Each structure stands twice: as structure tokens, then as C-alpha cells.
Amino acid sequence: MSYINGINLHRLQHSGFIASRTKDGLFAHTAIIIGRDSQGIVWLIENNYHSGVQWTSLETFALGEHISITRPNLNPNLTVQRAISQLGKSYSLFAYNCQHFTSWAANGKAFSPDLMNWMFVGFIITTGLVAFNSKKL
């Protein structure tokens, strides 16, 4: 039997689910699980900043890291269809990153929690710097 991070590749029943791994300890990289082929390779569709929306294997996606799997709000078959429909679409950090892609495909709304969190942190830091500098004047 083949396992990656505790996932039995021969019994994968998670087509249409969201796969997620922490990238550099700061961001979650996400993809949609599509299924397993006849050779036992588990395929996903990800939105990669180098290539846009593309196919990748679970092994390549995982990079030896722990993978979390989340159930989609939409029907898993619809999620797979939506993910496939985006193949070739370009990546955009602010408008269409991996989280936008997977949340749209699996939940019906494009959203990036990491981007929102980092924008909030940036806002707080900027506000603090402005307040600090205005006291000096």
C-alpha cells in the first residue's frame, strides 16, 4: 500500500475535496483533489504562481509536508468540474491565488483568508507607523 502523510492512495475517496498544506509556515497552499489514476497516482488541480491553474500529483503538491483535507460545501463532482474548467487560467496574488481558486471551486465564492489576514496586518502596521510619526511632528 502507498501512503503520503497518512493518506492511503489506493482507497482515496476524496475527489472534489480541498487539499491544503502550510507553505513556509506562513501561507496555506491549496488544491482540489481530482482522483486517482490506474497507476495509483493521485491527481489534483492547483493554482500555482509560476504556471497558473494546472494539474499536479499529490506527491508533488505535498512536498513531504502534512496535508489537510476539507470537505467542499458544493457537491464534490461539481467541485471537480469547476476546477477542471479553470485549467490554464493565470495566477494573480491579489485577485486569483490558490485559495481564491479552491474556495470558488469548492464553495462557490472566491476568497483568500491568508491574503485578508496579511492585508489586515499591513493595515495595523501602517496605522501604527502613521500614528507614531504624527506624534513626532
Average confidence (pLDDT) over 109-137: 64
CA–CA separation, 34 and 41 (whole Å): 11
Closest alpha carbon to 34 in 53, 14, 20: 14
- With a cut of 70, say whether residue 1 has pLDDT above it: no
C-alpha distance across the termini of the chain, in Å? 68
Look at residues 79, 118, 115 and name the one whose alpha carbon lies nearest to residue 98.
115
Q: How confident is the model at residue 27, as a pLDDT? A: 83
Q: What percentage of the chain carries pLDDT values higher than 70? A: 72
Count the alpha carbons within 13 Å of 89 in the hemisphere toward its beta carbon.
18
Model confidence at 31: pLDDT above 60? yes
* Average pLDDT rounded to a whole number, residues 20-38: 88
* Residue 116's pLDDT band (cuts 50, 70, 90): low
- Count of beta carbons in the 10 Å neighbourhood of residue 120: 10
CA–CA dist 51, 87 (Å, integer): 10
Mean pLDDT of 101-111: 96
Give me 135's grid cell.
506624534
Check residue 123 and give its pLDDT: 46
On the question of pLDDT at 137 being above 70, the answer is no
How far apart are alpha carbons 90 and 3 in whole angstroms? 32
